[in-house]
Amino acid sequence: MSSMSSIFPLGDRRILWAWVLLCLGSLALLWSVTEPIKGPYEQIDSVVAKGVFYRQVVWMLISYIALFSASRVTLRFLENMAVPLFIISVLLLVYILATGPRIGGARRWLVLGPLHFQASELAKVAFILLMAQILERAKEGGRGFSVTLGTFLLMLVPLTLVLREPDLGTSLVFLALWVGMIFWFGVPGILLLGAGSAMLSAVFSFYSESVIHQALPWAVYLLVLVGALFLARMSILSKVVLLLVNLATGIGIPFFWEKLQRYQQERILTFFDPTRDAFGSGYQAIQSKVAIGSGGLFGSHYLQGTQKGLAFLPERHTDFIFSVAGEELGLVGVFILLGLYLVVILRGIHHGTHARRSFARFLAIGVVTYFSFHVGVNVAITTGLLPVTGLPLPLISYGGSNLLISSILVGLLLNVSSRTFDD
């Protein structure tokens, strides 16, 4: 019995089985997108090479070793490695921006012979560990606002570097991680209210400025905000600050918009109106919704999806693999897939609330935030609820970097759940 336990990771078996089933689901979907579609009169070969499937198998074996190691290393060691790992990841991001090869119009990859690795994925783990370390010490010291501001400025370092690659979707992961972990830390409600209202102001300002070219929607939003602030039981200073933050965000949106790459602008504009470029930047969103909608309740059956088989669905083995699941497995299959993620997220929250050490609690919440954001945004993109930003579905989408890092994070969650090394 002891010999068997030595080859399995420590921790919550439900989380481990969810990881196993998600990985098997990934292989099943990748096998499907690499298979030819057989019609009544001819067979159409897939444009996605079968090597994609076999490379994912190899990465899964490597990822299991990484998951196993992450579940057994001491949390004290991870805490001590937080700062060096963050520094290394930032230096790698700078190095890639300076000397990395330009692939597909972006500098994102660290090339090590035949291997291509995204340093931004390593930076996610490093940022979670560093945030957990900082917030643990801040909790003991009772510091609030200074830690919130300090960690926000720290978060801007990887976010800015990744945004310059450019990779808008991945850069937003760092913002999501910061929001999730700082919320768990316990930030003042006025800060959360300010952040939420500022995002609404940004959306209404952008819609007014760049989509319909009329100031009315943003003006109406500001009038509603002024009325709400007038009725709210808050200090005059808080009301003035909230209003100024909303004004500054709305006015600053055009300047931020000009900094985006042209393809990023087109993706956002076609989100509001996919038909403006139905065969260009809006093509992915349209075909993704067609694929998911055609699946119905039980799907078109495994290996029988025509959208992916006839190559109508772009990036079907990476960012839009959820669309393949929706087409071939239907609503029932999609719910099962999302249920596996829900197991990881809910069990992660449970262990985060029950861990004895603050570092373990913040670490678990960081991992939960990572999976919640990645899954939520990817599903929203493929169903047309968000603009296309190129964010993979963790443990399912093809790609060694994301699979490896996602598995390490699951391993860290197993580590926290075991509570073996809390002392």
CA angle 145, 148, 150 (to 5 degrees): 105
Q: Is 110 helix (H, G, I), strand (E, B) or coil?
A: strand
Per the CB < 8 A criterion, the answer to whether 355 and 422 are in contact is: yes
What's the pLDDT band for 147 if we cut at 50, 70, 90?
Answer: confident
Query: What pLDDT does residue 422 have?
Result: 47
What's the pLDDT band for 308 if we cut at 50, 70, 90?
Answer: low
Query: What pLDDT does residue 2 have?
Result: 46
Q: What is the pLDDT of residues 333-382, one digit of tens each?
A: 999 999 999 999 999 999 999 888 889 999 999 999 999 999 999 998 88
Helices 119-141 and 75-99: angle between axes, nearest 10 degrees: 140
DSSP letter string, 28-80: HHHHHHHSPEE-SS-EE--SS-THHHHHHHHHHHHHHHHHHHHHHS-HHHHHH
Residues with Cβ within 8 Å of 312's Cβ and at least 6 positions away in sequence, in order, are: 287, 290, 291, 306
Share of the chain above pLDDT 70, in %: 84
How far is CA 207 from each of CA 36, 120, 193, 199, 310, rounded to the nearest angstrom? 42, 30, 21, 12, 35
What is the token pair recorded at 322? 């959820």
Cα-Cα-Cα-Cα dihedral sign, residues 358, 361, 366, 369: negative
pTM of the model as a whole: 0.84
Per the CB < 8 A criterion, the answer to whether 207 and 217 are in contact is: yes
Q: Which of 20, 22, 29 is nearest to 52 (CA)?
A: 29
What is the token pair recorded at 130? 């560093």
Question: Residue ranges of the domains in the chain?
Answer: 2-418
Per the CB < 8 A criterion, the answer to whether 115 and 183 are in contact is: no
